[in-house]
């Protein structure tokens, strides 16, 4: 049981390039989330999904896209990378949306630098 | 506008003593409050939570207290251990099933041997 895995661990992009951050969970969780953490700041929700085929915007969705074709995978797409997207990206999942406590399980993160 | 605030960026305590981490919130629609612990180069891990209808929840060395009238919660770690050194995030969940968490900026705890 690997939990939540993210690839790549690190990436450097040039301005205007595109990339996809991969996220996979093997816990059969319905809910999945993408957060970004800027230096000295808390985590901010980018997008989330309550099940395959269903996604919704979080607090900071601009510049990103997501899809959820399977329960296990929730990739995050950056279409035209900008320096403001330099951050650490965390993927998370929860079984029932945290109906009991809100507990989410996080991956190890992807550190992205856009120059 | 920050809805969840952790006003102390850092805290240093001696091993064996109590660590108290504080968190304030502004939105009365939060129904659950959570604490996450984060080590460098790792993702946050869930530590403990409390429902808005309770005022205390305890799990081993960790206790969370909630004061709804003051919109304040605190995490107590007793006794503190060097392995507790990490960044602690306070988070709050909106009621009504939106499943979104709002995080504070975190407090870096250092426990000195």
DSSP string, B28-86: TTEEEEEEEEE-TTS--EEEEEEETT-SEEEETTEEEEEETTTTEEEEEESS--GGG-E
- Which residues in chain B are closer than 8 Å to A45, comparing Cβ atoms? 100-101
| Residue A61 scores a pLDDT above 80 | yes
| Contact list, A4 vs chain B (CB under 8 Å) | 43
Helix, strand or coil, per DSSP, at residue A68 = coil
Minimal Cα–Cα distance from A83 to chain B, Å? 21
Give the model confidence (pLDDT) of A39-60 as tens digits. 888 999 999 998 999 999 999 9
Cross-chain residue pair B41–A109, CB shorter than 8 Å: yes
Q: Is B14 on the interface with A (CB under 8 A)?
A: no
Cα–Cα–Cα angle for A60, A79, A94, nearest 5°? Answer: 50
Q: Per-residue pLDDT tens for B38-65?
A: 999 999 999 999 999 999 999 999 999 9
């Amino acid at each position: 049981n690997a939990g939540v895995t993210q690839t790549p661990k690190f990436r450097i992009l040039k301005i205007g390039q595109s990339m996809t951050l991969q996220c996979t969970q093997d816990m059969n969780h319905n809910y999945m989330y993408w957060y970004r953490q800027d230096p000295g700041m808390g985590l901010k929700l980018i997008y989330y999904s309550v099940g395959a085929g269903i996604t919704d915007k979080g607090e900071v969705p601009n510049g990103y896209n997501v899809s959820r074709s399977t329960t296990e995978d929730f990739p995050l797409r950056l279409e035209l990378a900008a320096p403001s997207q330099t951050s650490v990206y965390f993927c998370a999942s929860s079984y029932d949306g945290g109906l009991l406590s809100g507990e989410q399980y996080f991956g190890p993160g992807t550190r992205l630098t856009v120059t | 506008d920050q809805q969840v605030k952790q006003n102390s960026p850092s805290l240093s305590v001696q091993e064996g003593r109590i660590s108290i981490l504080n968190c304030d919130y502004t939105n009365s629609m939060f129904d659950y409050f959570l604490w996450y612990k984060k080590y460098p180069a790792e993702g946050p891990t869930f530590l403990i939570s409390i429902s808005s209808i309770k005022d205390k929840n305890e799990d081993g060395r960790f206790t969370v207290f909630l004061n709804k009238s003051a919109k304040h919660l605190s995490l107590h770690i007793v006794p503190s251990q060097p392995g507790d050194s990490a960044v602690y995030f306070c988070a709050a969940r909106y009621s009504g099933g939106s499943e979104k968490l709002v995080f504070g900026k975190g407090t870096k705890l250092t426990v000195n041997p």
